[in-house]
A = this chain, B = another copy of it.
Amino acid sequence: MTSERFGYLTPQTLGLFTDRYELTMMRGYGENDHTPEATFSLYYRSLPTNRGYVIAAGLEQVLAYLDSIEFGERALPHLRAEGFPEGFLDVLADFEFTGDVRAVPEGTAVFPNEPLLEVTAPIEQAQLFETLVLNQVGFQSLIATKAARMRDTVDRHDEDVTLVDFGSRRAHGTDAGVKAARAAFVGGFDGTSNEAAAEAFDLPAYGTMAHSWVQSFETERAAFEAFVDVYGEDAVLLIDTYDTVAGAETALDVARERDVDVRGVRLDSGDLPALSVAVREILPAEMDVFVSSGVDEFFLREFYERDGVADGFGPGTSLTTSKDAPTLNPVYKLVAVEQDGEMTPSTKLSAGKVSYPCAKSVHRFEDEDGLARDVVARRDEDVGGRELLVDVVQDGEVVYDSPDLAAIRDRTARTLAKVPAGVRAIEDPEEYPVAISDGLAATTDRLEADLRKEAGLE
C-alpha cells in the first residue's frame, strides 16, 4: 500500500488529465501531416436553473497548466503500454505550447454564447487542452457564481456579514474542495474552513469546534471552559449540541466566569432564524452569532425575511456542489481552422441549436445604470463598447499577471453592482440582452447554408 493508491495528480501526470480521444486525434493529426492553425472557443450555451449570469473563474489555473504541462516519467511509460507509437511519445516528450490565448479576466460576469476563453494554436496543441480547461473553468465559474448569489443576497441586508466556505467535506474530491474555496472567495466570500486551500491560495481559514468537541466532555460547560482556556478571545462556541438557548446561556456564563471576551457562538441546527433572534437577545453585542447548516441563497433570503440576525454564515454542501445546478455545461468548440493558409469559420450542424463559428470578441455597453447590453461579434469586426477578452498567452508565453484574489473579488463586486437587479434575482432572473453582431450572424447563416447544401440537406 502506498500513497499512489490515492490517485494524486502532480505536474508530472497532469498532462494525462485529458480524454483519450484528444491524444488519439493529436497522434492522428501528426501522422496525417494535418496540423492547421485552429481556434477553439470555451463558452456555455444557456444559463443553469435560476441563474441570470455567470462569474468567470479559473483562468489562473489554466495558465499554470499551459505553462507547466509536461509528459514525463509516469505519463510516457503509461502511453507506451497503451500502444501509442514511439514517434508520438517523442512529440509528447518535447511538448510545448506555442499558441495564443485570450480570456475574460476572472471576476467578470459572462452570459450565454460569450467566450470565456479562446485558444488559437496548431490544432493538435489546442485539442489536447479541451478536457482540463473545461474542467477547471467550468467548475470554478460554477462555484464563483453560486457564491456571488449568496453574497448578493446577504449584502441586500447587511454588508458586514462574514461568509465562509464550510463545504470541503461534501465537495466532489480534493481538487473540488480546494478550488471551491478559491472560487467562493472570487465570488465574494471571506474565507474557507479548508486548510489546504488556505495554504495553496493564501486564503483566511476559519473554524473552531464541532459537536464532537462538546460531546467528548462530561458537560457542555466543561467543553466550553476547556476551549476558552486554550483559545481565549478567538473562541467561537458551538451551542446547539443539546439545546441552543441553554447553550447560549452557558457560553455567556463561561465567558464571564473566565473573564474573556469570547468572540462568539455558532448555531448549526434547528429553526435557525428564530434561534438566532433568541440567542442574540441573550448575548452581548460584542459576541458574534455565526450560523451554519443548510445555508444557501434561498435560506439566506428566508433568514432575513424572518428577521434572523447573524454576523456570519458558513454555507457548505450547497456552495461546493452548486447543489441546485451542479454543472454549467461549458463547451470547447472548434470555431475556425486554417484552410489554404487562411483562418476559415467552422461549425457543427445541430437540430435546434446554433454553434456560432469564428474567433470572437465580446463588446460590453454600459450606461449610467450599469451594464446595458453585450454584443458577441467576429473578432475582425469593430462594433464599439468595451472588449472583454484580453491577451493572456502569446506565442506560448504567458503575458498576463493574474491579479491577487482580493483584486479578483473586488472585480466581481464591481461587476455585480452594475448587473441589473432583475438579472441578479436568485429566482426566475430576467434575461440580460446579448446580441449577435450582424457580421457574425451573416457568417453563421452562410456557413450553415453551405454545410447543409454539402450534406445534401437542402
Interface residue ranges, A against B (CB under 8 Å): 1-11, 13-14, 16-25, 27-29, 31-32, 34, 36, 38, 40, 60-61, 63-65, 67-68, 74-75, 78-79, 82, 123, 127, 130-132, 134-136, 138-139, 142, 166, 168-180, 182, 193-201, 205-213, 215-220, 226-227, 229-231, 241-243, 246, 269-271, 317, 321-323, 326-327, 329-330, 332-334, 337, 339, 346-351, 398, 402, 451-452, 454-457
> What are 14 A-B interface contacts by the 8 Å CB criterion?
A3-B14, A3-B68, A8-B10, A8-B14, A17-B174, A20-B208, A21-B209, A23-B207, A134-B169, A215-B347, A216-B334, A241-B349, A243-B456, A243-B457
* Chain B residue contacts of A138, Cβ below 8 A: 169-170
Contacts of A349 in B (CB 8 A): 241-243
Residue of B nearest to A169 (CB): B134
Of the candidates A10, A24, A193, the one having the most CB atoms from chain B within 10 angstroms of its own CB is A24
Q: When the two chains form their complex, are residues A179 and B173 in contact, meaning their CB atoms are under 8 A apart?
A: yes
Whether the Cβ atoms of B6 and A195 lie closer than 8 Å is: no
Q: Is the CB of A6 within 8 A of B14?
A: yes
User: What residues of chain B lie closer than 8 Å to A216, measured between beta carbons?
Assistant: 29, 34, 36, 38, 123, 334, 337, 346
Q: 3 tightest CB-CB pairs across the interface, nearest first? A: A173-B175, A20-B207, A21-B207
User: B230 near A7 (CB under 8 angstroms)?
Assistant: no
Given contact pairs A13-B196, A270-B351, A317-B329, enumerate 17 new A-B contacts (beta carbons under 8 Å). A14-B174, A16-B196, A18-B195, A19-B168, A21-B207, A23-B195, A24-B209, A24-B231, A29-B216, A36-B216, A75-B199, A82-B205, A131-B177, A134-B170, A242-B455, A243-B349, A323-B326
Q: Which B residues touch A270, using CB under 8 A? A: 350-351
Q: Which residues of B contact A28 (CB under 8 A)?
A: 209, 213, 226-227, 230-231
- Asked whether, in the complex, the Cβ of A193 is within 8 Å of the Cβ of B21, the reply is yes
The interface residues of chain B lying within 8 Å CB-to-CB of A169 are 19, 130-131, 134-135, 138, 332
In the complex this chain forms, how many copies of it are found? 2
Q: A13-B196, A168-B131 given as contacts; is B454 within 8 A of A219 (CB)?
A: yes
Task: Kindly state the separation between the CA atoms of A337 and B14 in the bound complex, as whole angstroms.
Answer: 42
**A9 engages B196 (CB within 8 Å):** yes
Q: How far is the CA of A241 from the CA of B351 in the complex (A)?
A: 11
**Docked-complex contact B215 and A17, CB < 8 angstroms:** no
Q: Is the CB of A455 within 8 A of B2?
A: no
Residue in B131, B215, B269, B322 whose CB lies within 8 Å of A194: B131
Are B170 and A329 in contact, with the CB atoms below 8 A? yes
Task: Give the docked Cα–Cα distance between A8 and B9 (Å).
Answer: 7
Please indicate the chain B residues that have their CB under 8 angstroms from the CB of A2 in the complex.
64, 67-68
For A28, A31, A40, A456, which residue has the most chain B Cβ atoms within 10 angstroms?
Answer: A28
Of all chain B residues, the one with the shortest Cβ separation from A218 is B339
Are A226 and B7 in touch, CB under 8 angstroms?
no
The residue among A22, A175, A452 with the most chain B CB atoms within 10 A of its own CB is A175
Q: Which B residues are CB-close (under 8 A) to A8?
A: 8-11, 14
CB distance from A4 to the nearest CB of B (A): 8
Most chain B CB atoms below 10 A, which of A174, A219, A269: A174
Please give the distance in Å from A139's CB to the nearest CB on chain B.
5
Contacts of A241 in B (CB 8 A): 348-349
What is the minimal beta-carbon distance from A382 to any residue of chain B, in angstroms?
27
Q: How far is the CA of A21 from the CA of B343 in the complex (A)?
A: 55
- Could you say which residues of chain B place their CB within 8 Å of the CB of A220? 455
CB-based contact B212/A123 at 8 Å: yes
Question: Contact at A212–B327, with CB atoms within 8 Å?
Answer: no
Taking a contact as CB atoms closer than 8 A, the residue among B9, B200, B457 that contacts A175 in the complex is: B9
- Chain B residues contacting A206 (CB-CB under 8 Å) are 20
B-chain residues with CB within 8 Å of residue A456 when the two chains form the complex: 243, 246
State which of B175, B218, B317, B457 has its C-beta within 8 Å of the C-beta of A7: B175
CA distance A196 to B15 in the complex (A): 8
Minimum CB–CB distance from A168 to chain B (whole Å) comes to 5
Docked Cα-Cα span, A243 to B21, in Å, equals 21
List residues of chain B with CB within 8 A of the CB of A454. Answer: 219, 242
**Which residues of chain B have C-beta atoms less than 8 A from A194's C-beta?**
17-20, 131
